[in-house]
Every structure is written in C-alpha cells, then in structure tokens.
Amino acid sequence: MAGNSFGQIFRITTFGESHGGAVGCVVDGCPPGFEISEDEIQKELDRRKPGQSAITSPRREKDTIKMLSGYFQGKTTGTPILLIAYNEDAKSHDYDKLKAGYRPSHADYTYDVKYGSRDWRGSGRASARETLARVAAGAIAQKYLRQELGIECLSYVEQVSDIRANIDFNAVTREDIESNIVRCPDAEAAEIMIKRIEEVRDAGDSVGGVIKGVIRGIPAGLGEPVFDKLGADLAKGMTSINAVKGFELGSGFEGVKLLGSEHNDLFYKDKRGKIRTKTNNAGGTLGGISNGETIHFRVAFKPVATIKKDQQTVTTEGDETTLFGAGRHDPCVLPRAVPIVDAMSALVIMDHYLRHKAQNG
C-alpha cells in the first residue's frame, strides 16, 4: 500500500534515499534463463548518473550497480533480482540550513504532513536519486524486449524552454540522441539548448522542457481494457518521475485543433498483408491496446525546484523566512531524464507483454 512498487507480473520495488546508504530495487517476475550482466545495466546507469557534463549536477557518484540475487552463471534464475548501488558522494551538511524551512515546490511540506517527519538531506525518498533503481531495472527490461521481441524504447530531449527540435521521431537513432550532452538529435537546436541551460545555470536558476518517447516494433494486442490501458500505464509511469507535470500520447493536446475527419487514422493493408494505419495520431494504441504502430508520446518536466536564489517561504512553525537553495542540482533535468523515460517505457511494455503472454499463451 506504500506506493513503492510498480508493475503486476514484471514488478519492481525500489528502496533508498538520496543521502542514505544506498539506492536499489528488487525485480520480481523476470523470466529465467535470460542473459544479462552488471556491465550492461551499468551502461544505462552511466547515462543517468550526475556529474556527466557541464550542464548536469556536479555531484560525483559512480553509481556502481551490484546484482546480489536472482542471477547465476550469467543468467537470470526466475527468482527476485536485487540491484543495489551504494551512495559515495553525499554531502548532507549542505542541507542543514534547510531542515527548519519548507523549500518552494519541493516535497518538504507534504512529507511532513503525511509522515510527521521528513529527511531534509537532499529530499530523502522524494529525491530523483530514487530513479537510479528504475533505470537499473529498466535496463533488464530493455534488453529482453530488444533481444527477444525486437522492441526498441528510445527517448530524447525535444524541447528546452521555448527551444524546440525539428526532428522526425520515426528516424531517430540512439547514436543521434547520444551525439551531444543535451541528448537532442537535432544538432542545431541542441547547440541553442545547451547555451540556454548554461545561461540559466550561471544565473542561479533552472529551466524545464519536454522529452519525446518512442517505442518501436511493438506488436498489436498489448494492453488491457478500461483501467489498465497501455496509454494509462505509460502515463502513470511517466508522471511518477520526479518533476514531471504533463503527459500526452500521440497527437495529445494538439489533437483538439483537428476535426474528426482529420484526426482519424485510416486503416489499410500493406504489401505484406499486415493491417496498418495511414497516420498515427492515436500514438500507437486504440482502446488502450497497442495497434502495431509506433507508440509515441511527450513528457513535460518542470524547472528544477532548487535554485541558487533567495526565495520566500515559511518555517516548520509557520513563520516567514528566506531560503537559499543549497546542495548540488541540475539546472535542467532533461538530459539525465532521458534514460529514466526509456526505463519506464520498457518496464510498462515488459509487464504488459508478460500479462498478455500469461493470458493468451
């Protein structure tokens, strides 16, 4: 009931805090006999870890992952997999001045209300450091989907502030995404985005943006009716990521500008006899079930809440005070959020694939 688990068959339970001893997760329901290594998981974690470029948090964490169970002789055993990474560069004293006040747009106040206490060291459980565990588990799901089913989960920075990339999501590759530090496959837009982030960072402020998610090669038929629609679970997975404030599938909010005759995706049979749609405004699902087209969606991230500026707030006693953001934080979370979006995509699809297989054989 505590909300620390995600998925039904391929199920993960995360644990740990930003300035605690470690962060990790237990992965249950992974098929046995699947080859996976710590090095393969580490590659995804290296895309998420802090200190990787001049526009990310300067905190230095190796985020070295260890698999402590559910794994033998290079293969999964079918039993729970324990993944853990120990914190090495926590500087808790940076947050001592913040324990008596509520930081604007942080979870300080709501955690106090819910639990009667909070961990003020880097936000504790509310910190985005928890997403390390999701990326580790997602690396397993990504490899399984790619190797066994030919499904590819990609995401990239499409927009920073009002700077938007001009790119065809159908043609984007992982190499394009990793070609620059902001993880935008449009080189011209990426250069402008990086400059904007640097300007905001130097001013002690932060900036938000949008990540585009793409899931290719997914077969028709995945997803459940009503409450467990594929799009609904993707929305839940994405909006559970720190700093996410919006999710749209397919045409999303832009679709309201179209007439039904313009928005409808018309069916046809391709040369191989496969049923397809001429357009993909639906974003790859119909009635909550995948239709075989590429799933595409957008995820909106707010500006990072901690900024290096004086902000008015109140103490835990309700007295007015001023707080200055301390600690090491990203001026823009998007570059490091790309592998998190990849991971959540893979976790949702992996779970729905196993659910479909369990029901339909």
Domain presence at residue 328: yes
Radius of gyration of the chain (CA): 21
Give tens-digit pLDDT for 236-253.
999 999 999 999 999 999
Can you tell me the distance from the alpha carbon of 128 to that of 227, in angstroms, rounded to the nearest whole number? 27
Q: Does residue 211 sit in helix, strand or coil? A: strand
Q: What is the DSSP string of 161-204?
A: TTEE----TTT--HHHHTTSTT--S-HHHHHHHHHHHHHHHHTT
Domain presence at residue 318: yes
Domain presence at residue 313: yes
What angle separates helix 38-48 from helix 131-144, to the nearest 10 degrees? Answer: 130
* Structure-block tokens of residue 129: 């450091």
Cβ atoms within 10 Å, residue 39: 8
Residues 6+ apart with CB under 8 A from 147: none
Angle, vertex CA 339, rays to CA 108 and CA 287, nearest 5: 90
Give tens-digit pLDDT for 299-312.
999 999 888 888 89
- The total of structural domains in the chain comes to 1
Angle, vertex CA 245, rays to CA 243 and CA 249, nearest 5: 125
Domain presence at residue 360: no
Is the pLDDT score of 46 beyond 80?
yes
Domain presence at residue 13: yes
Can you tell me the distance from the alpha carbon of 200 to that of 204, in angstroms, rounded to the nearest whole number? 6
Can you tell me the distance from the alpha carbon of 170 to that of 182, in angstroms, rounded to the nearest whole number? 20
Per-residue confidence (pLDDT) for residue 328, from 0 to 100: 67
> What is the extent of the structural domain holding 236?
5-355
Domain presence at residue 308: yes
Domain presence at residue 289: yes
Can you tell me the distance from the alpha carbon of 217 to that of 210, in angstroms, rounded to the nearest whole number? 23
Contact between 117 and 321 (Cβ < 8 Å): no
Domain presence at residue 361: no
CATH number of the domain residue 207 falls in: 3.60.150.10
CA max distance for the chain: 70
Is the pLDDT score of 90 beyond 70?
no
How large is the average pLDDT for residues 273-278? 96
- Bridge partners of residue 163, in order along the sequence: 160
Cβ atoms within 10 Å, residue 237: 26
Contact between 293 and 318 (Cβ < 8 Å): no
Per-residue confidence (pLDDT) for residue 273, from 0 to 100: 94
Per-residue confidence (pLDDT) for residue 25, from 0 to 100: 97
How large is the average pLDDT for residues 140-158? 98
Is the pLDDT score of 91 beyond 80?
no
Is the pLDDT score of 61 beyond 80?
no
> Which among 12, 221, 34 is positioned nearest to 136, based on CA atoms?
12
Is the pLDDT score of 298 beyond 80?
yes
